[in-house]
Amino acid sequence: MDTEHRPRGSYQPRRQASRRSWGGAFVGLAVAAFALPTLANGGHDDHGDGPRTATVLEIGSAMAGTVSAGDVDVFRFDLVGQAAVVIRTSGPNDTSGELTDSAGMSLATDEDSGSGDNFSISQDLAGGIYYVHVSGMGDYAIDVRVGADQADLHGDTLESATLLRLLSDADLAAVSPQALLMTSGRIGPTADDVDLFRVDIPYSGTDVVMRGAGGANVNGSLVDSSDMAVASDSGSGNFRIATTLAAGIYYLKVTAAEPGAYRVLAQGSGGDDHSAAEDRDSDGDGVIDSRDAFPNDASESEDRDANGVGDNAHPIAATYMYDSAFADDASSVSYSGQTARQLLIVNMKSEIGNLTELVGMEDLLRARVSFYMTGEGVDDTPHGFTVAGGEPVKPGPTYGDVSTGKNLGSKTAGQDKAEHVLGGEFFGWDALAGGSMPIDLVNHYIDSLITEATDGNTPLISTVGGDVSLDAVFVDAHGRDYQQLMQKFLGGAVAFSQGTADYLSTNWHEYLTQIDGKDYTGAEHKFDEAFGYYGAARNMNEYTDDEAAAKSGRDGWQYGYHDTDGDGTIDLRSEFVFGHAQNCAKRDRGSNGMTDFSMEAMNAFLLGRQIVGNAASAGSLGAEAEAALDEQIKVATVTWEKCIAATVVHYINDVMGDMDGFEDGSFADLDNFKNLAKHWGEMKGFALGLQFSPFSPFRDGSVDGITVDSLKEVLSLMGDAPVLADGSQGGVMPSGGASEAVMDYTDALLQARDLLEKAYGFDHDVVMNW
C-alpha cells in the first residue's frame, strides 16, 4: 500500500501471531518429516491429502492440481487479519471444495457455484490458518483471493508489522517441504506496496538467515527497532540475507519491482546459551514467555506503557488527548506557548517576504523583522494568521490570546540555557567568528537582510536572455535567500533544539508533582511542550500524508488542518499541522511508501505521553516505565531528526536540479537564479539545525564512522553560499572554468548527501527520489 494515499488510522499494537498462524508453523505440535503419498494406481499425488501434508497456497496466485477417484488435494492458506475470501477452481472438469479451519471444523462446502462444474466458496474469515479440500476428477487450477480493498496482507509500518517466527534448525529438519513453514505474502495491488515483518531476536550472537521465495522476485531490507539499516539484498531473484544479530527487535521490509505473491522465512541458530524454559509459551498465545509481558494470560502479551496492565485492557491513546489526574473533566495537555512560537516563525517568514526596497529606512525595517525575536508589544499585536480554506481560527486575534509574553530570541539555542549549544560549540557558518552563538547567526542574517533592503542597489542577474534585475530584496547577489535561511534555521535553533535538548531531555522524576493552579504535572507539561514544537495536530494519525502536507485530500482535510471538534473554527493549538510535522509528511510522500516518519514520530509521542500521564496518576515513575519512556523519546527525537535530514536531502537534490539549468555560465532565466537561492537557503537552514539534538546519530556513536565531525563536513561541503552559474561562490570567482566549479560543487553536495544517507540509514533509492 502506498503510504502517500493511506489514512493512518489509530495507533494499533504490533500484530502478534496467534497460536495457529505464527510464521506458518504449528506452534506446540510435533511435526514429523513426511513423503508425498502414493496413489492406488502407483502414481504420486501432486498435493497432500491432509493438513500436515497440505500444499501452501499463496493468496492471489493460482496453482494447478489433478484429482482422481478417492483422491483429495488439501491446500493451506494463511490470513493475517480479517478478510472477505473467495476460493475457487477453474478448468473443464468437475470439482468439489470444502473449507476448514485449523482445528478441522468445516466452515463451508460447494460443488458447482463457480464456472462450469467448478466450486466457488465465498467466506468472511478472521485471521488464521485455513485448509481447502479439493475432490473430483481431472485437472484443475485453484486460487484464493481477498477483496481488492483487503489485498494488502501485511502491515506497511513498524507498528503494523506481522510477527515472523524465527525458526530453529530443528524446526526446518522436522518439516518437508520447508514451504510449509514459510509465511505467504503478496506485493500489491501495485509495486509501491511494502510488507513489513517483525522478527524478535532473544539472544545476542544469533546467526540469522532470511530469504524470500516465489514468483514475485522480492527484495529484502532488514532494519533495527529505530528503523536504522542493518542489511539488505536485492537483485534478479529473491532476496537472501545472512547476518549475525544482537538481541532485540528487528523488521524485515519486503518489496518487489512488480506485484505478485511470495513467501518468506527467517531461520536463526547459535547465540548465547539459554534453556528450553525460556522458549516456552505457557499461555499459548504465540509469544514465548521471555518476550511475553503476561506469560500466563493469553489475552495479553504487551505492556508498552509499563503500567502493569496489558495494552488490550489499557490501550495506548490514538490521539494526543489526556485527562487530568487532578481534576474531573479536565485536560492535562497544554502547549499554547509553542503554538505562539510556531506562529511567530511562520509570520516572520511572511514579513521578510513582504519587504521592499526602502533606502535609508534601516531602523524601521530592523524593528519590523526584530519584533519576532524580541516580542516587544507582542501580546497586543494581531497575529493575522489565516488558513487556506478561509475558516476562522482561534485563539486570537492577538498573539497574547494564544499565549502571553512569547518571542523567539529567548528560546534560540544557548540564550535560555548555555548547554543547549551542545558540546559548547556552534558551527556551520564560516563567516562567523569563533565562539559565536546561534543568536549571532540570526543577527547576521538580519543585518544582511536590512543591508539588501536599504542600500538602493539592485543586483543584475546574468541570464541567457541578458541581464535581469533581481526583484526580491531578501535575496542577495550571491544567491543567499535570507527569508528561507531565517525560517529554516529558527525551526532548528528554536523548535527542534527546545523540543529535544530541553524538554525531552528532562529529569522526569523532578517534575512529577502538580503545578500550582494547573491540572497537570511539570513532567506532563514539558512533554507537551516538546510535542507543540514538533507541530502535529492531535489526531495526526487520521491524516493522510497528502493532507498533512497540505497538498490534497478529503474536503476539510486537504489544507493541512481539520475542524475535528466541529465548532466551525480551526484551533491552532490542536487542529493544524505546523512546521516539522508537515515536513515529515512531505518526505513520506516522496518515499514511495518506504518511510512513514509521520506515524512513527506520532506514535512515539503518544506512547511516551501516556507513560508520563500514568506517572502523574501514580505519583511516581518506575524503572520499567522510565526505560519505556526513554525508548519512545529516542524514537520520537531520531524520527523528528530524520525528517529534517530527509528535507536537507530533498533540497540538495533541488539545488543540483537548479544547477542543471545553467547554460554557458549564465542562468536560464531569473527564476532559475531565484529557485537556486531559495532551495539553497532551505538546504543550509535545515542542515544547520541538525546539530541541536543530543539524541542525534552524529553525537551518540550509533553509526560506525559517523561523528559530529561528519556533520561539520556536511555543512562545510555546502559552504556559506551556492555556486552560481558563472562558477563564483560567495563573490569569489573560481580558479578554473565555471563548468568545472559547478561540477565540483555538485560532487561536494553528493558527498554531503552520502554522509546523511549513512548517518540516518536512508534507502539509497529513496534518497535519489527525495
What pLDDT is recorded for position 271?
A: 64
Residue from 291, 341, 391 nearest 491 by CA: 341
State residue 8's pLDDT score.
Answer: 36
Strand order in the sheet with 195-201: 162-163, 195-201, 248-255, 219-224, 229-233
| Statement: residue 90 has pLDDT above 90 | no
Quote the pLDDT of residue 179: 60
Q: Over 70: is that where the pLDDT of 272 sits?
A: no
- Spell out the domains of the chain, with CATH numbers in brackets: 41-150 (2.60.120.380), 162-270 (2.60.120.380), 336-458+482-769 (no CATH)
For the chain, percent of residues with pLDDT exceeding 90? 61
Dump pLDDT digits (tens) for 672-718: 999 999 999 999 999 999 999 999 999 998 888 999 999 999 999 99
DSSP 327: S
Write down the mean pLDDT value for the chain.
Answer: 87
CB 433: neighbour CB atoms within 10 A? 6
The answer on pLDDT for 273 being more than 60 is no
Average pLDDT over residues 394-422: 94
Q: Is residue 20 scored above 60 in pLDDT?
A: no
**pLDDT band for position 25 (50/70/90)?**
very low
pLDDT-above-70 percentage for the chain? 90
Q: What is the pLDDT of residue 180?
A: 60
What local confidence, expressed as pLDDT, does residue 33 receive? 29
> Apex CA 309: angle with CA 306 and CA 313, to 5°?
130
pLDDT digits (tens, 9 = 90+) for 104-155: 889 999 998 888 889 999 988 887 788 999 999 888 889 888 764 445 567 7
C-beta of residue 670 within 8 angstroms of C-beta of residue 463: yes
pLDDT of 401: 97
Q: E strands of 206-259, at which residues?
A: 206-213, 219-224, 229-233, 240-245, 248-255
pLDDT classification of 747: cutoffs 50, 70, 90? very high
Give the pLDDT mean for 384-413: 96
Query: What pTM was computed for the model?
Result: 0.68
Average pLDDT over residues 497-507: 95
Tell me the CB-side half-sphere exposure of residue 163, using CA atoms within 13 A: 21
pLDDT score recorded for residue 74? 92
- Point out the least confidently predicted range of 13-17, 367-371, 636-640: 13-17
Q: Say how far apart CA 143 and CA 89 lie, in whole Å.
A: 7
Is the per-residue pLDDT at 269 higher than 50?
Answer: yes
Which triple of cell numbers denotes residue 319?
490521539
405-418 CB burial, b ≥16 within 10 A, e <16: ebbbbebbbbbeee
Q: What is the mean pLDDT of residues 39-50?
A: 60
Residue 178 pLDDT exceeds 90: no
pLDDT per residue as tens digits for the range 213-236: 876 788 999 999 888 889 998 876
Rounded (5°) CA angle 256-259-261? 90
Q: How confident is the model at residue 187 (pLDDT cuts 50, 70, 90)?
A: confident
Euclidean distance between CA atoms 192 and 210, whole angstroms = 22
What pLDDT shows up at residue 7? 37
